[in-house]
Amino acid sequence: MSGFNLSAIALKNRTLVLYFMLVCMLAGFLTFGKLGQKEDPEFTFRIMIMRTIWPGATPDEMQNQVLDKIERKLQETPYIKYVRSFAKPGESLSFIELRGDTPPKAVADVWYKVRRNIGDIRYTLPSGVQGPFFNDEFGDTFGSIYAFTGKGYTIEELRKFADRARQEILSVPSVKKVELIGIQPETIYVDLDSSKIATLGIDPQVIANVLNQQNSVQSAGFIESGMDHLNLRVTGSLTSVESVANSPITANGKTIRLSDIAKVHRGYQNPKTYGFQFEGQPGIALAVAMTEGGDVIKLGQSLKTTVDQLSAQLPLGVEIHQVSNQPLVVKNAVDEFLKSLAEAVAIVLIVSFISLGMREGIVVALSIPLVLAMTFIGMYIFNIDLQRISLGALIIALGLLVDDAIIAVEMMASKLEQGYDKIAAATYAYTATAFPMLTGTLITVAGFLPVGLAKSAAGEYTFSIFAVVGLALVISWLVAVIFTPYIGFKLLPESKKAHHADVYQKPFYQRFRKLLAWCLTYRKTVMLITLAAFVLSIAGFKYVPKQFFPSSNRLEVMVDLWLPEGSSQLATETQASQLQAQLKNNPHIENITAYIGQGSPRFYLPLNQELFSANYAQLMIMTKSLADREALLQQLNHLFETRMPSVRARAIRLENGPPVGYPVQFRVIGPDQQKVRRFAFQMADIMRANPNTRHVNLDINGQAKVIQVKVDQDKARAIGASTSEISRVLNLMLSGEALAQYREGDQSIAITARLNPAEVKDPATLENMPITTLSGKTVPLSQVATVSLGFEDGTIWRRNRMPEITVRADIADGLQAPDVSDEIEPKLRALEKTFPTGYRIELGGSKESSGESQDSIAAVMPLMLFVVVTLLMLQLRSFSRTFLVLLTAPLGLIGVTLVLLVFQQPFGFVANLGVIALAGMIMRNSVILVDQIEQDIKDGSTPWQAIIESTVRRFRPIMLTALAAILAMIPLTRSIFWGPMAFAIMGGLLVATVLTLLFLPALYAAWFRVKKPA
């Protein structure tokens, strides 16, 4: 090492070092302004949605004739984790999820193969099936959502305003896509009078043929006249509602107008498709998604300018309201984290000034902005944005990045006090500590390896912890051996004493020597006490609350409303409107947005989206503060329990991390749907019996009412009517059938024939529905069929081609989902033993997601252990000493358990990452101490003396670096997301540092059988 000394080279080229310092500082803080800003880190959504429509099919027909064929083919998909589907009357929806270890770059190719494979079997699907329709952009986040409302304006008029705005916003930089929500397609209804068409004997198909022939676009040819080419244009197409009403219909040799037998009018498609309301007013939502790698703050500024300009152009009464404002959320979050970062910097500086002195403290203080600036450059190069994870990682790194600088400055100052000149002191610090520091730094980085290499959604979500901390720590070592010696050379004074003073003979160190001597003498007692504390911490850890990810600190409250299966969208909209009316003028609420028939678009990356259900509505309630959010949640839960018994209502906070949905979930799977249903109800009873569960429910909403038309085939054949013909006529008359298209501008409006709705309010009137015979006459439906009320499954869920039902529950406030799941699972396993062969219960919810994430971390642990052991062997060159250092790694668990129990902090995925990384921090100090002991023995000290004196000399730098790391975590303890990790690291590092200075010397003495000198 004496032949190559970076500190010596730096001091020989001081001007160059100063130049690079200034360049790095300037470039770093200029780069900081260019870093992208987001709420959450980007991670790959490994889910594709596939929707298939088959009008008239029952759920059983959908699952047997459509889903089974599709799912069988989907099982050939590479990296597939599962296919989960549901079948409803006339439609099905499939969720294809890939494994967490699917490489992000491979996902697009997998989705291409899904499309290709399904295309190969499309011909096997029944006639009349529409689709499948694919959506592989399910994870797109629409961070900015605007509501267009206007009293006195129709939905179609608002759509036109919103569509113009969409065109403008698409030209804004960093905008990926813009979608309109709440559009209600217009329709020209032809409401037929059943008595008139029965009297005249008119087949509705005749009306369809007339309208199609009159409105079809056909070439009329052209004429070549001399030098001109003249296209012929034939008029007479349908151009208005009146022209449709005046269409001639021939019946029994007579020609009448369509308006003679039907009421022709313009309206909206019924039932509605996807309703949207803002503050109780119907409107159109405009949702904006950002391109990958964009800056949400800059996009927000651009959108504000554009929307302000658009607002100024709108007519009086039309307003644009901001529903979701992710740029503001991100700005507030970044500002809050920067405040926490500044607090952490201040804390570290105070520790440095108090413990090292003014000049030494200034040397450490100057290294902090230098390391941060260079870290910002690294983040910019590796495309790491400022977001929830990277900002927290910066604060974690801050407590660690000063370690090397403190060790180097402390060593340099000690040598100056002993009479060394500045250059000798600086170069000695490199010779004595540079490589143990590097080993310790790399071990600390290796502690974060499981975060960086975990193959799961949670691992990808938290990857920037590893990236940012790793960058900062490696850079901090370079700063400590190149720039810190230069700063110390400039600022630290040479000792004026002519003799080499022993700074370690002060009273404090004398008392510490006596304590160490006692620990070495009674080494077995020290080791037994430590072992007992460790065993107690393991036993006590089961009492620490468990979680996956904590709730978000965003102000939104999400309300889910589920009506009974078979409820109309009108009933759902009515229920949502009633709830909004009850919440009007609530002092806790800023505004309310309602989505009917489908959930909110993904305005927040971890949002758990609900899709396509007429009996479902979702309210997004923006509260005024976190206190208002909590107060409103209590009010809503009371309201749902006392005043909305017929609706399954749920009010929740937004989640952090990958979306989970209900925190407690168990699913039952087996070959027979009815048995699965029966077992699911038994599971629900067990879950309701647990006092910690709330809102226990199944992901099916019971059976739906149906009207069964039982056709007498003999009578039907006698009049020349088939089952399909009867179905077609009933569908046309009741639901309506698009007979033709009316073109208006850029819109194609369906012309839909149906029976006048006033005639079919009562199902009993179905018996009088006219059915056309072979002779052209009509007979009532009752002559060929009987009509009765029945029931069928409203929704059938499947998982990997097997019937499945999930039983779900929320939990009481103050509890954690994994703990409640652990309470319930043994009772469900006992129930499972009573099931026939082929039926099983699987764990879901937070516990399942947490387990998958923990497994992905555990898979990387052997690699982490290999890297750590290799680094220790390279530094220590001894199996015994390497093993000694490894034995100190789990000691942090003593402090972790103690602190988490005392402060009642939950142990979740993020806290687990902190505990794993804590092992690296502990071993960093251990390797430096063990290496120092070995150096002293090589220099001629007795082993006893070397253990004591090395520990005395390493006491101050070890305690200072630990204090800096511990105290720098204080700002993070206020964070809902980072708090548990901060508490875990603080408690674990504090206890482990004390044990490193007391237990490790005793363990070393016991291992090598070091005897006390006589």
Q: Is the pLDDT at 1014 greater than 80, yes or no? A: no
* DSSP SS3 for 1014: coil
Angstrom distance (rounded) from CA 609 to CA 599:
6
Please check whether residue 981 is in contact with residue 469, taking contact to mean a CB–CB distance below 8 angstroms. Answer: no
- Tracing tokens 């029944």 back to the chain, one arrives at 126
Burial 410-422 (b: 16+ CB within 10 A, else e): bbbbbbbbbbbeb
Distances (CA, A) of 346 to 343, 349, 714: 5, 5, 91
Please report the pLDDT score of residue 267 as a whole number: 86
- The mean pLDDT of 428-441, rounded to a whole number, is 84
Please report the pLDDT score of residue 667 as a whole number: 95
The contacts found for 713-721 with CB under 8 angstroms, 24 or more apart, are 715/783, 715/784, 716/784, 716/785, 719/771, 719/773, 719/774, 719/779, 719/783, 719/784, 720/773, 720/774, 721/771, 721/772, 721/773, 721/784
- The mean pLDDT of 293-307, rounded to a whole number, is 89
pLDDT in tens, 224-274: 877 888 888 776 677 778 888 888 887 777 788 888 888 888 888 877 778
Please report the pLDDT score of residue 561 as a whole number: 93
**Largest separation between any pair of C-alpha atoms in the chain:** 131
pLDDT in tens, 653-683: 988 877 788 999 999 999 999 999 999 999 9
Query: Distance between terminal CA atoms of the chain?
Result: 36
Please report the pLDDT score of residue 992 as a whole number: 92
Angstrom distance (rounded) from CA 616 to CA 599:
8
- Tracing tokens 């190149």 back to the chain, one arrives at 482
* DSSP SS3 for 844: strand
Q: Is the pLDDT at 6 greater than 90, yes or no? A: no
Q: Is the pLDDT at 3 greater than 80, yes or no? A: no
Q: Is the pLDDT at 155 greater than 70, yes or no? A: yes
Please check whether residue 480 is in contact with residue 437, taking contact to mean a CB–CB distance below 8 angstroms. Answer: yes
Question: In this structure, how many other beta carbons lie within 10 angstroms of the beta carbon of residue 495?
Answer: 18
- According to DSSP, residue 972 is labeled G
Q: Is the pLDDT at 484 greater than 70, yes or no? A: yes
Computed over every residue of the chain, the mean pLDDT equals 87
Q: Is the pLDDT at 424 greater than 70, yes or no? A: yes
Angstrom distance (rounded) from CA 203 to CA 249:
11
Q: Is the pLDDT at 381 greater than 50, yes or no? A: yes
pLDDT in tens, 947-970: 999 999 888 888 888 888 888 888
For residue 321, what are the β-bridge partners?
Answer: 147
Cis peptide before 271 (omega within 30 of 0): yes
Token couple for 106? 């491979």
Which band of pLDDT confidence, cut at 50, 70 and 90, is reported for residue 502?
A: low
Residues 6+ apart with CB under 8 A from 725: none
Q: Within a 13 Å sphere around the CA of 764, how many CA atoms are in the beta-carbon half?
A: 1
pLDDT in tens, 535-580: 999 999 988 888 888 888 889 999 999 998 888 888 899 999 999 9
pTM of the model: 0.83
Please report the pLDDT score of residue 500 as a whole number: 47
Token couple for 225? 């006249």
For residue 591, what are the β-bridge partners?
Answer: 622
Please report the pLDDT score of residue 590 as a whole number: 93
Angstrom distance (rounded) from CA 164 to CA 748:
18
The CA-based angle 950-952-954, given to 5 degrees, is 65
Strand 175-181 to 284-290 pairing: antiparallel
Strand 262-268 to 275-278 pairing: unpaired
- The mean pLDDT of 62-73, rounded to a whole number, is 92
Please report the pLDDT score of residue 496 as a whole number: 46
Angstrom distance (rounded) from CA 784 to CA 712:
5
- The mean pLDDT of 804-832, rounded to a whole number, is 91
For 56-76, give the DSSP string: T--HHHIIIIIIHHHHHHHTT
Closest Cα partner for 604 from 664, 653, 665, 662?
653
pLDDT in tens, 163-220: 999 999 999 998 999 999 998 888 888 888 877 777 777 777 777 777 777 766 667 7
Please report the pLDDT score of residue 499 as a whole number: 44
Angstrom distance (rounded) from CA 213 to CA 326:
51
pLDDT in tens, 854-895: 888 888 889 989 999 999 899 888 899 999 999 998 999 999
Q: Please state, for a pLDDT cut of 70, what percent of the chain lies above it.
A: 97
How far does CA 596 lie from the centroid of its chain? 23
Compare 721 and 316 and report the one with higher pLDDT.
316
> In the chain, what are the helix, strand and coil shares in percent, each to the nearest 5?
55, 20, 25
- Tracing tokens 């103050």 back to the chain, one arrives at 814
Distances (CA, A) of 874 to 19, 349, 869, 884: 34, 33, 9, 15
Q: Please state, for a pLDDT cut of 90, what percent of the chain lies above it.
A: 39
Element (H, E) at 708: strand 703-711
pLDDT in tens, 773-813: 766 677 888 888 888 888 888 889 999 999 999 999 999 88
Q: Is the pLDDT at 1 greater than 70, yes or no? A: no
Distances (CA, A) of 843 to 79, 797, 804, 807: 21, 16, 13, 10
Angstrom distance (rounded) from CA 114 to CA 49:
11
Please report the pLDDT score of residue 216 as a whole number: 65
